[in-house]
A = this chain, B = another copy of it.
Amino acid sequence: MSVTIKKIAKDLDLAVSTVSKALRDSHEISAETKARVFEHAAKLDYIPNPYASSLKKGRSGNIAVVLPEVADSFFSAAINGIDSVAHEKGYHTMVYLTHEDIQREQSIVREFRNGRVDGVLMSIVANNAKYEHLRELCASDVPLVFFDRVCEEIPTASVITNDFESGYIAAQHLIEKGCKYIVFLSMPGELAIIKHRQNGYQQALQDHGMQPCIIYCTDSEDENIAILDKLLTGENKPDGIIGSIEKITIPVYTVCHSRNIPIPSAIKIIAFSHLQIAALLNPPLTTIAQPAFEMGKAAATILFKTLAKKYDLKDEKIVIPSVLMMRASTHTD
């Protein structure tokens, strides 16, 4: 490569160091000189790409965060946790959204294998059992750390919360508040976090001699409203609801409000949610709040330790506990 730089320098009658700096987009070099260098480099088919030098150094200066969505207070807080570490390390954080679409996830992840990013932090899409793209990434030189929505079949580091225990605690809280028929609002698919929460709920009900009931919601708010409307106005109404993901909260409250079902006297509600605004809802919502910022921060910290070659990612599994925030939606009258 230096042959090309020497040639550019000779052709343009510039010092090699000047050309090199210009190609690295150094602020020491004037815009005019840079323009001449870039133009001539293009003629010689030399790629004046900031990635080129960063690749040689083995560093792009970027980490990627791959998420299903950002319209979720958990993920937006987790990004801030990740970015707080990345910024300190002099890296940029690029966020990619999969919109719960496995094809988008595959396409995004396959971009990462050749040095576009130095590391990847990821929460996988729901409702999917295809992991080949994750295996490929894991087998490449680009380190991968899962947070929250992990793929348990891929041997790499992960940062999770205590989902089984939290599901148990949520159910136990409703049982203690006198609920006799507690429904768990789940999502179809393979997502480990939902399964663990659901298993915790089932265990709690079993320990109290109660019958579990799982209702599956969808990605569509309208469909969820229809499902919940049927549930809450039908013959066999629950007196307790556990929402396993944040996006189910709005449909539950919307149906209770529109059908004049009083919370908490007719039904008590607890949701897995990091929503800061939960305390201002009518009534304030009891939540199992995941430590979103801390999980993001921990995941980024592991990644940067790996980038500094101090870590074997396979060995690393961090569990940060969630917190039950009791509010009026589960009060006893």
Tell me whether A95 and B70 are in contact in the complex, defined as CB-CB below 8 angstroms, given that A277-B281, A281-B281, A282-B283 are known contacts: yes
- List the 6 shortest-distance A-B pairs measured between CB atoms, nearest first: A282-B282, A95-B95, A71-B76, A70-B70, A94-B94, A70-B76
Of the listed stretches A113-121, A150-158, A204-212, chain B binds A113-121
Of the listed stretches A51-59, A195-203, A308-316, chain B binds A51-59
Residue of B nearest to A110 (CB): B25
Contact A51 B281 (CB under 8 A): no
Contact A93 B92 (CB under 8 A): no
A99 to B77, CA, bound (A): 12
Contact A111 B96 (CB under 8 A): no
Q: Which residues on the B side are within 8 Å of A280 (C-beta)?
A: 250, 253-254, 257, 281-282
Contact B49 A114 (CB under 8 A): yes
Q: Which of A49-81 contact B (CB under 8 A)?
A: 49-52, 55-56, 61, 69-71, 73, 75-77, 79-80
Tell me whether A79 and B92 are in contact in the complex, defined as CB-CB below 8 angstroms, given that A49-B51, A115-B49 are known contacts: no
Tell me whether A50 and B111 are in contact in the complex, defined as CB-CB below 8 angstroms, given that A45-B1, A97-B83, A254-B280 are known contacts: yes
Interface centre among A95, A113, A249 (most CB of B within 10 A): A95
Report which A residues bind B (CB closer than 8 A): 1-2, 25, 45, 47-52, 55-56, 61, 69-71, 73, 75-77, 79-80, 83, 87, 92-97, 99, 104, 107-108, 110-111, 113-116, 249-250, 253-254, 257, 275-277, 279-284
Give the oligomeric copy count. 2
A47 to B99, CA, bound (A): 32
A137 to chain B, nearest CB (A): 13
Tell me whether A51 and B116 are in contact in the complex, defined as CB-CB below 8 angstroms, given that A70-B76, A87-B104, A97-B83 are known contacts: yes
A238 to B70, CA, bound (A): 35
A98 to B202, CA, bound (A): 43
Q: Which residues on the B side are within 8 Å of A45 (C-beta)?
A: 1-2, 56
Q: List 20 A-B contacts (CB under 8 A).
A: A47-B52, A49-B55, A61-B111, A69-B80, A70-B75, A70-B79, A71-B80, A79-B97, A80-B99, A83-B99, A92-B111, A93-B96, A95-B95, A95-B96, A95-B97, A253-B280, A257-B280, A277-B281, A280-B281, A282-B283
Known contacts A49-B114, A76-B76, A94-B95, then 13 further A-B pairs from the complex at CB < 8 Å, ordered by chain A residue: A47-B47, A47-B49, A47-B52, A49-B115, A52-B52, A69-B80, A70-B70, A71-B76, A83-B97, A95-B95, A250-B280, A257-B280, A281-B282
A116 to B75, CA, bound (A): 25
Indicate which residue in B48, B92, B277 contacts A277 across the interface (CB closer than 8 Å). Answer: B277
Contact B73 A71 (CB under 8 A): yes
A194 to B49, CA, bound (A): 38
Q: Which residues on the B side are within 8 Å of A113 (C-beta)?
A: 25
Residue of B nearest to A98 (CB): B83
Q: Which residues on the B side are within 8 Å of A281 (C-beta)?
A: 277, 280-282
